[in-house]
Amino acid sequence: MNFPLQKVLIIGVGLIGGSLGLAIRRRGLAGSVAGFDRDAARLERAVSLSAIDKAEKDLKAALSGADLVFLAVPVGSMEGLAEELAGLLSKKTVVTDVGSVKGDLVGLLEKRLLPNGLFVGGHPIAGREKSGVEAASAELFEGAVCLLTPTPRTDAGAQKTVEAVWTAVGSRVVFLSPQKHDRVAAAVSHLPHVVAYALVACLLEEESAEPDLLSYSAGGFRDFTRIASSSPQMWREICLANGDQIVSQIERYQSVLERFRKSILNRDGSALEAEFERARAVRERLNKGAENKK
């Protein structure tokens, strides 16, 4: 496929949608980048931050001439949006999404969108502490992994287009089935967030007995509060949409933590040191992986 595309439409101009707009515009990947958002003020901010060329107020007009559409709304709003889009698509319009959950969602979106358009599920594994278009960055996807989740119903040309855009904005594209995606995302992203949220909640409870507790905290705990400062609404929706996989990952985590607790209770120093050593080696492996990518 060849750049530039004629027109890219981004529906939902928050952190991810806004960053996509900035990245696509910066690299000249599209003749124009239009934005659509239920929140008129946010849409205006996206224009003033140059995340999009044009703010569209009407979905039909927004879609006119668009060869690629990103659904960058919260997971819980995807299906309703797809229903609205369904009648407005042309046979050549490629639609993709950026939802953090894929399993059931891809099937639902295919059901709504495939009769009239083309659809490929996607999930850029990128985010920031801050949410909102104000935190958007043209570099957000550089060096990140973008998971695409084609199915037997996915059009090969549409898949190539979506893959090419993510590659062009600096991401490494990996293909997984929607079901495998949800297991992987539960492990590497959803579980860490739940673990961090629970840790912060735990210290909040302890704080009622020890009012100055949090003021004694250092780097380690502050990293947790960073992870736990993502959008509560977004994480609510992710937990609802990928609940089964997340619960299963939490249960695996619970059994590992219980093993740690018993080793500490039994003062089993060599078991503990072996666990800590294995965990430390992961960091070195990830750092090496990051260097090799450069």
Residues 138-177 that bind its own copies (CB under 8 A): 144-145, 147, 174
Q: Residue 114: what residue type?
A: L
Specify burial of residue 87 (Cβ count, 10 A radius: 0-12, 13-18, 19+). exposed
Count the Cβ atoms, other than its own, within 10 Å of residue 104: 15
**Positions 212 through 241 that interact with its own copies (CB under 8 A):** 212-230, 232-233, 235-237, 239-240
Q: How many CB atoms lie within 10 A of CB 181?
A: 26
90-149 residues in contact with its own copies (CB under 8 A) are 125-129, 144-145, 147
Stretch that binds its own copies, among 30-38, 67-75, 84-92, 284-292 (CB under 8 A): 284-292
DSSP result, 50-102: TS-SEEES-HHHHHTT-SEEEE-S-GGGHHHHHHHHHTT--TT-EEEE--S--
Nearer to its own copies, 40 or 274 (CB): 274
* Angle at alpha carbon of residue 83, lines to 14 and 39, rounded to 5°: 30
**Residue 40 vs 290, nearer CB to its own copies:** 290
Q: Do the strands 145-148 and 94-97 form a parallel or antiparallel pair, or are they unpaired?
A: unpaired
Sole binder of its own copies in the list 80, 92, 258, 288 (CB under 8 A)? 258
Q: Tokens for 248?
A: 């299963």
Of 8 and 75, the one with the shorter C-beta distance to its own copies is 75
- Of 267, 288, 291, 294, the one binding its own copies (CB under 8 A) is 267
| Residue owning tokens 């704080």 | 207
**Shortest spacing between CB 262 and its own copies, in angstroms:** 9
Q: Is 128 helix (H, G, I), strand (E, B) or coil?
A: coil
CA 252, CA 158: separation in Å to the nearest integer? 37
Site for its own copies (CB under 8 A): which residue of 195, 211, 288, 291? 195
The closest of 70, 62, 135, 129 to 98, measured between CA atoms, is: 70
Q: Does 39 bind its own copies (CB under 8 A)?
A: no
CA angle 287, 178, 163 (to 5 degrees): 65
State how beta strands 118-120 and 94-97 pair.
parallel
Binding status of residue 247 toward its own copies by CB under 8 A? yes
Q: How many residues bind its own copies (CB under 8 A)?
A: 92
Q: How far apart are CA 10 and CA 246, in angstroms?
A: 29
Query: Would you count residue 201 as binding its own copies (CB under 8 A)?
Result: yes
Q: CB of residue 32 vs its own copies: minimum separation in angstroms?
A: 30
Stretch that binds its own copies, among 65-73, 86-94, 163-171, 242-250 (CB under 8 A): 242-250
Of 194, 288, 291, 294, the residue at the interface with its own copies (CB under 8 A) is 194
User: From the list 87, 157, 276, 288, which residue makes contact with its own copies (rule: CB under 8 A)?
Assistant: 276
Applying CB under 8 A, which part among 27-35, 101-109, 158-166, 198-206 lies near its own copies? 198-206
Residue 58 sits in the site that holds its own copies (CB under 8 A): no
Using CB under 8 A as the binding rule, whether residue 61 contacts its own copies is answered as: no
Which one, 3 or 253, has the nearer CB to its own copies? 253
